[in-house]
Amino acid sequence: MISLLLYYIEPLALSNSIVRYHFLLPVLPRTACLAGLCLAFLAGCGKQEAPKQVSGGDPARGQRLMAQYQCTACHAIPEVPGAAGNAGPPLEKFGLRSYIAGGIPNTPQQLTAWLDNPQAMKPGTAMPDLGVSPSEARDMAAYLYTLR
């Protein structure tokens, strides 16, 4: 990697002699080096931890449940058709979020419990208990963790 970098930067560093050396540095390999560098950087950026797993949760079923319970009446959710309400936060990239409702650690257990009964975890929240069953909550949590 460093050698690639030097190979590209060297002629720039010797800017006074760049005209002299220019013909020595074929254009095509330099372009290839540049592309390689970009790819290396991008690969570094794209590195993420694996999505959180909810045991027994089916994301596809969870996605359908999000539509069925009309979570979209309050939340804008990618890939879930319906209204895009403003009462709750948009759930885009929810799988990367640190906290639920601004303070509860976003772990599979906590999220499942939250979907099951929000008031029990944060009295005063506007989010109602919709009668989601524990297994439905697991499916919905599994889906929400796919949003990244």
Partner 1 sequence: MTNAMTPPLQSVLHPASPDAAIIAHLSWVLFGGAAIIFAAVMALMFIGLRGEGGRQVSARWWIGGAGIAFPVVVLTALLVWSTWRSADLSPQTSRGAMSIGVTAKMWWWEVRYHDPASGREVVSANEIRIPTGRPVYLGLTSTDVIHSLWVPALNGKMDTVPGRVNGLTLQADKPGIYRGQCAEYCGEQHARMALHVVAMAPPDFERWLANEARPAKAPQDALVERGRAAFLEQRCQSCHTIRGVAGAEHARLGPDLTHVGGRTHIAAGTLRNHRGSLAGWIADPQAIKPGARMPAALDIDGETLRALAVYLEQLK
For partner 1, the binding residues (CB under 8 A) are 69-71, 73-74, 83-88, 119, 123-128, 130
Cβ of residue 51: shortest distance to partner 1, in angstroms? 26
Residues recorded for the chain: 148
**Which lies closer to partner 1 via its Cβ, residue 85 or residue 108?**
85
**Which lies closer to partner 1 via its Cβ, residue 31 or residue 86?**
86
Rounded to whole angstroms, what are the CA distances from 118 to 1, 10, 77, 88, 100? 50, 60, 18, 13, 10
DSSP symbols for 72-124: GGT---TT--S---SSS---TTGGG-SEETTTEE--HHHHHHHHH-HHHHSTT
Cβ of residue 94: shortest distance to partner 1, in angstroms? 17
**Which lies closer to partner 1 via its Cβ, residue 71 or residue 111?**
71
Cβ of residue 98: shortest distance to partner 1, in angstroms? 21
Phi/psi at 81 (nearest 5 deg)? Answer: -70, 155
Cβ of residue 111: shortest distance to partner 1, in angstroms? 17
Q: Which two tokens stand for residue 51?
A: 């999505």
**Which lies closer to partner 1 via its Cβ, residue 97 or residue 122?**
122
Phi/psi at 99 (nearest 5 deg)? Answer: -130, 150
